């Protein structure tokens, strides 16, 4: 069993990074992290509180919305990008214990000659929709406005970002240094239809879209809309797939474009209930975003994560692997591969966590365990395609 790099070679060839080692080194985050998101001291000066100011966005998923808009003429496809942008912030903070005193600001950068005002209206409406849904699930977020900039000299199509802040009692924080040998790892599915979702989720989230787009979507799209492709990329690696965004695929139960644009599932309502009922047992909550199933390696101290009972690979990821000929070890280090939330908890609390998830229509199961390490953290993933160690 060889040790695999957590950096993706196919992803890197397209100008992106799953492990983001260079970025982490640049900001001085080279060792294990204590919290999933990074808290700072309370601006109000209360030593009993911590403060989060977190920024993220929909990434290149906005290109899928743009292609669907161009192919159908309907700006509705831009609406769910707001959910992607918000959830990528919210679930990171929630994994650290921050699910109260939330304030949202959004930033949209567009090429105005290509992105109409109706698209901006859809995105803003999408933020309102998502905030309203979360309110009904007990997660209150105040919208504080934002900025829409016409920056065609900088942006080829559209960037949808947001910033979320939270003020959190320090005793509510989830400290991953509590992860210990003997903990079980519970995974929470990223597929199916959660009780707060309107339609089945393809599992895609908002990570790895650069790789997914370029191995599934065809050169015809890049030729018709050259603004969706980095001109420095060769035709051998960019938009080399067989599909248009409007092609229906039976295994997906939807079009390829709809699967790629499937809104990022939020686990925040579930996390709120888990923290309310099991806080003393939760040693870590991991949002499997950049880095996929290897993300957990950055958390805890001197531990080995053994994943031996993963969910079946969702059809979208199987298509990406097949048409991109992406090595399986790379797939697991880029995509969530079936679950995008993990909890490290003592064995006695696992069944309660699984039962809690079922209340939200989210499948959950024990997917692995934690053992003692010997220096650097390690992740081992047993799959039908081999055992991969990172």
CATH code of residue 89: 3.90.650.10
How much is the pLDDT for 30? Answer: 60
User: Residue 114 — pLDDT band, cuts 50, 70, 90?
Assistant: very high
* CA-wise closest residue to 320 among 198, 200, 205: 205
Asked if residue 16 has pLDDT above 60, the reply is yes
Distance CA 330, CA 326 (A): 7
Distance CA 14, CA 232 (A): 10
SS3 content of the chain, % helix, strand, coil (to 5): 35, 25, 40
Q: How remote is the C-alpha of 264 from its chain's centroid?
A: 7
Angle at 309 between CA 308 and CA 312, to 5 degrees: 125
Considering the chain, what is the average pLDDT of its residues?
94
Look at 224-238, 331-345, 357-371 and tell me which has the smallest mean pLDDT. Answer: 224-238
Asked if residue 67 has pLDDT above 50, the reply is yes
In the chain, the percentage of residues whose pLDDT exceeds 90 is 90
Q: Token digits for 3?
A: 């040790």
CA dihedral 161, 163, 164, 167 (to 10 degrees): 170
How much is the pLDDT for 269? Answer: 98
How much is the pLDDT for 29? Answer: 56
How much is the pLDDT for 32? Answer: 87
Is residue 124 situated within a structural domain?
A: yes
Contacts of 364 (CB under 8 A, 6+ apart): 186, 187, 188, 189, 353, 354, 357, 358
User: Residue 10 — pLDDT band, cuts 50, 70, 90?
Assistant: confident
Is residue 1 situated within a structural domain?
A: no
Q: Are 389 and 293 in contact (CB under 8 A)?
A: no
CB-based contacts of 26-30 (< 8 A; 24+ apart in sequence):
none
* This prediction's pTM: 0.92
Asked if residue 28 has pLDDT above 80, the reply is no
Q: Are 61 and 217 in contact (CB under 8 A)?
A: no
31: which DSSP letter? S
What are 299-355's pLDDT values in tens digits? 999 999 999 999 999 999 999 999 999 999 999 999 999 999 999 999 999 999 999
User: Residue 4 — pLDDT band, cuts 50, 70, 90?
Assistant: confident
Higher pLDDT, 9 or 176: 176
**Residue 235, number of CB atoms within 10 A of its CB:** 11
Distance CA 150, CA 133 (A): 29
Is residue 317 situated within a structural domain?
A: yes
Rounded mean pLDDT of 235-254?
96
What are 245-265's pLDDT values in tens digits? 999 999 999 999 999 999 999
What are 128-157's pLDDT values in tens digits? 999 999 999 999 999 999 999 999 999 999
Is residue 228 situated within a structural domain?
A: yes
User: Residue 14 — pLDDT band, cuts 50, 70, 90?
Assistant: confident
> Between the CA of residue 52 and those of 95, 98, 104, 130, 139, what are the distances in Å?
12, 8, 12, 20, 16
Rounded mean pLDDT of 54-65?
98
User: Residue 22 — pLDDT band, cuts 50, 70, 90?
Assistant: very low
Is residue 225 situated within a structural domain?
A: yes
Look at residue 34 and give its three-state secondary structure: coil
Is residue 361 situated within a structural domain?
A: yes
How much is the pLDDT for 26? Answer: 42
Is residue 2 situated within a structural domain?
A: no
User: Residue 13 — pLDDT band, cuts 50, 70, 90?
Assistant: confident
258: which DSSP letter? H
Domain limits for position 138: 9-389
What are 204-221's pLDDT values in tens digits? 999 999 999 999 999 999
In the chain, the percentage of residues whose pLDDT exceeds 70 is 94
Asked if residue 8 has pLDDT above 80, the reply is no
User: Residue 18 — pLDDT band, cuts 50, 70, 90?
Assistant: low
Asked if residue 27 has pLDDT above 60, the reply is no
Asked if residue 24 has pLDDT above 90, the reply is no
What is the count of structural domains for the chain?
Answer: 1
């Amino acid at each position: 069993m060889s040790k695999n790099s957590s950096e993706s070679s196919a992803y890197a060839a397209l100008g992106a990074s799953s492990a983001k080692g260079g970025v982490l080194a640049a900001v001085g985050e080279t060792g294990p992290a204590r919290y999933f998101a990074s808290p700072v001291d309370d601006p109000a000066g209360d030593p009993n509180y911590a403060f989060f100011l977190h920024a993220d966005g929909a990434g290149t998923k906005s290109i899928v919305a743009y292609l669907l808009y161009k192919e159908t003429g309907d700006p509705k496809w831009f609406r769910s990008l707001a959910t992607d942008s918000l959830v990528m912030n919210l679930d990171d903070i929630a994994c650290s214990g921050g699910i109260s005193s939330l304030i949202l600001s959004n930033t949209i950068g567009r090429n105005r000659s290509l992105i109409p005002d109706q698209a901006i209206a859809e995105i803003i409406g999408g933020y309102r929709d998502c905030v309203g849904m979360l309110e009904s699930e007990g997660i209150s977020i105040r919208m504080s406005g934002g900025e829409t900039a016409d920056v065609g000299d900088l942006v080829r199509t559209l960037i949808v970002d947001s910033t979320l802040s939270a003020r959190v009692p320090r005793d509510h924080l989830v400290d991953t240094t509590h992860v210990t040998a003997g903990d079980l790892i519970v995974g929470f599915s990223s597929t199916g239809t959660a009780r707060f979702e309107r339609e089945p989720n393809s599992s895609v989230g908002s990570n790895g879209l650069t790789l997914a787009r370029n191995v599934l979507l065809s050169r015809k799209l890049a030729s018709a809309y050259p603004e969706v492709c980095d001109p420095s990329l060769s035709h051998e690696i960019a938009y080399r797939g067989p599909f248009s965004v409007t092609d229906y695929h039976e295994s997906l139960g939807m079009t390829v474009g709809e699967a790629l644009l499937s809104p990022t599932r939020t686990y925040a309502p579930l996390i709120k209930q888990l923290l309310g009922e099991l806080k003393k047992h939760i040693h870590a909550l991991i949002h499997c975003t950049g880095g996929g199933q290897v993300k957990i390696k950055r958390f805890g101290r001197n531990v080995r994560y053994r994943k031996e009972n993963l969910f079946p690979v969702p059809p979208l990821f199987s298509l990406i692997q097949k048409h991109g000929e992406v090595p399986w070890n790379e797939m697991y280090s880029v995509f969530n591969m079936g679950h995008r939330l993990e909890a490290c908890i003592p064995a006695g609390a696992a069944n309660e966590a699984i039962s809690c998830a079922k209340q939200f229509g989210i499948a959950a199961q024990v997917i692995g365990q934690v053992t003692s390490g010997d220096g650097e953290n390690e992740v081992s993933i047993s799959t039908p395609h081999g055992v991969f160690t990172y």
